Amino acid sequence: MNVAELVALVWLGSIAAGLVGALSGLGGGIVVIPMLTLLFGVDIRYAAGAALISVIATSSGAASAYVREGYSNLRVGMFLEMATTVGAIVGATLAAYLPGSTIAVIFGFVLLASAAFSGHAGHEPSGDEPPDPIAGRLRLDASYPTQAGPQAYRVRGVPAGFAMMLVAGTLSGLLGIGSGALKVLALDWAMRLPFKVSTTTSNFMIGVTAAASAGVYLNRGYIDPGLAMPVMLGVLVGSLAGARLLTRLEATALRRVFVLVIVVLGIEMIFEGLSGRIGS
């Protein structure tokens, strides 16, 4: 296979990965890494570098559409970014010291955990929760637009959310993913943000976290232009098409199929990592 053929195949595969990422709700980055390592035999560090680039592209692409709707909570996002960027720098640095096989096994377990939480429905605020002292001091409470007009909500669980974001950032830097599933879980489950606010705020945070990791990856030589180029362009096309499909289809059954794909990929990554076929 020559360079042109590899670029074409990786581009097509990345479109598929972007589609699966969008339809399963887990993001393209998390699908693209097993595709590159398992299908194309790419070293997991190059795969992680290319995936991170695609995560930034997808985040910016989705955000330019989201931002006008006014759902995201900029204060919550920025406050927690302190945790995710520190985590990202730590994780990306750690990636240089761990063997590829260990990273593959951790990646597999993160895939499985993300799939397990992906059905998580989210909740709507009742608006009459008591105020939380920490969230109050940090002015995190806000409102978001609904069909019945602006709905106020209160934020809580700031320390738990902050701790989860440290972990999300570290995993993002270590594995080259956006850690979107864990971020939504922290915002929605620990901090009780409305689901729409959680997903848009998480999307904003994913881009910033990935940029922090990508800086370290770039300096360490993980980002190969010949590989990152088809991955970025492919995942971007696939995830934008997937997001458009999602609004048209009632996607629960379809979503289950894709979550199953993710589970299989997770098991495969763990197996390949343990058997030493990845990153020996």
57-116: contacts with other proteins (CB under 8 A): 57, 59-61, 63-68, 70-75, 78-79, 81-82, 85-86, 88-90, 92-93, 100
* 276 scored as a contact of other proteins (CB under 8 A): no
Cβ pair 169, 180 in contact under 8 A: no
Shortest approach of other proteins to residue 105 CB, angstroms? 17
* CA pair distance 118, 256, nearest whole angstrom: 9
The nearest distance, CB 249 to other proteins, in angstroms, is 25
124 contacts 193 by C-beta, under 8 angstroms: no
Nearer to other proteins, 85 or 118 (CB): 85
Choosing from 168, 208, 259, 270, the residue that interacts with other proteins (CB under 8 A) is 208
Total binding residues toward other proteins, as defined by CB under 8 A = 78
**Given the complex with other proteins, which of 42 and 262 has the nearer CB atom?**
42
Work out how close the CB of 110 gets to other proteins at its nearest, in angstroms, rounded to a whole number. Answer: 21
Q: Which is nearer to other proteins, 168 or 228 (CB)?
A: 228
Q: Of residues 240-269, which lie at the interface with other proteins (CB under 8 A)?
A: none
Considering beta carbons, is residue 89 or 116 the nearer one to other proteins? 89
Binding mask 22-61 for other proteins (x = CB under 8 A): --------------x---xxxx-xx------x--xx-xxx
* Closest approach of other proteins to the CB of residue 17, in Å: 16
128-187: contacts with other proteins (CB under 8 A): 138-139, 141-145, 150, 152
CB of 121 to other proteins, least distance (A): 23
CA–CA gap between residue 140 and residue 99 (Å, rounded): 40
Give the dihedral sign, CA 183/188/194/196.
positive
In the complex, least distance from residue 32 CB atom to other proteins, rounded to whole angstroms? 13
104, 184, 236, 265: residue in contact with other proteins (rule CB under 8 A): 236
User: Which distant-in-sequence residues (6+ apart) come within 8 Å of 20 by Cβ?
Assistant: 28, 31, 238, 242, 258, 261, 262
For the chain, the first-to-last Cα distance in angstroms comes to: 23
Alpha helix positions (H), the chain: 3-24, 29-34, 40, 44-66, 74-95, 100-117, 133-137, 158-175, 180-185, 195-220, 225-248, 252-274
Burial of 275 (0-12, 13-18, 19+ CB in 10 A): exposed
Which residue's entry shows tokens 């909740």? 123
Dig out the tokens for 170 from the structure.
């570290």
Q: How far is the CB of 112 from other proteins (least distance, A)?
A: 25
Q: What is the dihedral of CA 64, 65, 68, 69, to 10 degrees?
A: -140
